[in-house]
Amino acid sequence: MSQFEAITEENFETVVLKAPDAYLLEFGATWCQPCRRLEPELEKLEGMLAGSVKFGQVDVDTAPDLAAQFGVMGVPTVILFQQGQAVARLTGYQPLKKLQDLIEKHIG
């Protein structure tokens, strides 16, 4: 898992649901190869968006209830939250362009 903020079942509500900005949350695991491939794409995206979207990660092995709450059946799964609501999701490795399109579609 990378340098993004670690989201747990304990801090999810205060960090993600109450975030004033859009929040992109990656559900992954340390053993997941596609997750490792996705993280550099997310890091590039974070740099491109210059703080207009917050980024975080959920380790599904340590937060299984959170993964279940959002119907995460495979990793990596990326969910975009706006004003506390899940508004979009992608599952599996995604190239930078697809991630960028997802953000632009929902937050401009």
Structure tokens given for 38: 């996705």
Work out the widest C-alpha separation in the chain, in whole angstroms.
33
Q: Radius of gyration (Cα) for the chain, nearest Å?
A: 12
Distance of CA 84 to the CA centre of its chain: 13
| Catalytically annotated residue among 32, 38, 72, 75 | 32
CB 21 within 8 A of CB 53: yes
| Catalytically annotated residue among 7, 22, 35, 103 | 35
| Catalytic annotation present for 93 | no
| Catalytic annotation present for 34 | no
Residues belonging to the active site: 32, 35
